[in-house]
Amino acid sequence: MLQNWNQGSHFTVPSYLRKMKNIPLILMGCGGVGRQLLQHIVSCRSLHSTQGLCLRVVGVGDSTSLLVSDDLLHKGLDDTVLLQLCRVKSAGESLSKLCDFGECRAFGHPESEGKILEIASQLGRKTGLVLVDCSASFDTVAVLKQAMHMGCCAVLANKKPLTSSLEDFKKLFKCPRHIRHESTVGAGLPVIASLNRIICSGDPVHQIIGSLSGTLGYVMSEVEDGKPLSQVVKDAKSLGYTEPDPRDDLGGMDVARKALILARILGHQINLDSIQIESLYPKEMGPDIMTVEDFLERGLSLLDKDIQARVEKAASNGNVLRYVCVIEGSRCEVGIQELPKNSPLGRLRGSDNVLEIYTRCYSKQPLVIQGAGAGNDTTAAGVLADIVDLQDLFS
């Protein structure tokens, strides 16, 4: 067999000779990404079985309740329950509706938080447990910290725990092998993995510059063609690219959180308030002053002239405008930058994410990562890959 291997052939151990690895997990968050993840897990059963892997979903929680398997040590929630759960949540109903559907129990809030920690204590050092955070809440930070202290692992699509205080960030990364968070930046793109490989190789990172918002990438490439900002934002909203209130995208906070995660991975001891953030709308048009309807109908059009002037100025220099994050030395900022038209970022069209990483090895030509950086399907696929990546920690 060694002779065949040396000649370049590949040997795969038959599935019947492999010991099946079981990974128990609890999903926190049943929004679009969480539901898509459950569907991915169910649809990949056959694939994972051939790889000697079984993902056991022992619990699923949302902001109001938690659904838990009756047999935590040997079984998970049945696939029929998981798919029914997806249908129930898509209809905007409560998880408690499923308490009589299969062998499971429902717990309400705040009892659910204590139940998650009880399960973490029971499984953390026995079989192992992965907490998967697909919520959009700060409230999961405390649970994640306590569960990881009990020996559990964590996989995050939720950026907020990693952009909380520096103290919280350090506690979550006390055992780096136990945490994965690829989907917090760039959805399923290999941004975190690539950056970690560069760091591990000893190649110093000089600069990171990237367009990390599909919404703002689309907006900036469209205004480049001469379209008014107000029309572009309305088009983006109708296409489903923006949040229900487009100011959640235009304010730049989502990009700032992603930039903070990257900066902290590089070792920068900074918090969110250390980042200079350029909002595309003034405070006078903020949510506490102007309704969404007023902003779309009256406020947005007042911003057209200034943006168009900046677009024309950049064009006169042979450049384009992009909304990017820039991390260079101790500097971390988010906002509109004038960039060469023929650069990877300058060529960006539509809602893709693009990240340029400049290092000693990638000094003249940066490492460029580009692709779909948003979407429930893409993000959930990245989360699933992160869960599978933890399998060596399980028996």
- Spatial distance between the Cα atoms of 97 and 85, rounded to a whole number of angstroms: 9
Strand 53-61, strand 65-69: pairing = antiparallel
Give ∠ CA 377-180-387 in degrees, rounded to 5.
Answer: 60
Query: Amino acid letter at 54?
Result: C
Best CA proximity match to 30, nearest among 106, 118, 142, 100: 106
Side chain identity at 141, as an amino acid letter?
V
Pairing of strands 104-108, 205-211: unpaired
Q: What does the alpha-carbon distance between residue 88 and residue 97 come to, in Å, rounded to a whole number?
A: 8
Catalytic residue among 258, 283, 341, 364: 258
Type and span of the H or E element at 302: none
Provide φ and ψ at 204, rounded to 5°.
-65, 135
List the structure tokens of 354: 């693009």
CA separation for the pair 157, 379 (Å, rounded): 7
Tokens 């308030």 appear where? 273
58, with CB counted inside 10 A (0-12, 13-18, 19+), is buried
Q: Which residues pair with 67 in a beta bridge?
A: 60, 106
258 is catalytic: yes
Whether 141 and 164 have beta carbons less than 8 Å apart is answered as yes
Nearest-angstrom CA–CA distance, 9 and 19 = 24
* 119, 129 Cβ separation under 8 angstroms: yes
Q: How many helices (H) and strands (E) would you count in the chain?
A: 15, 13
Please compute Rg for the chain using Cα positions: 23
Side-chain-side CA neighbours of residue 154 (13 Å): 33
CA separation for the pair 269, 266 (Å, rounded): 9
What is the C-alpha to C-alpha distance for residues 122 and 309, in angstroms, rounded to an integer?
Answer: 61
The CA distance from 252 to 348, in Å, is 18
Peptide bond into 110 cis (omega under 30): yes
- Residues serving a catalytic function are 258
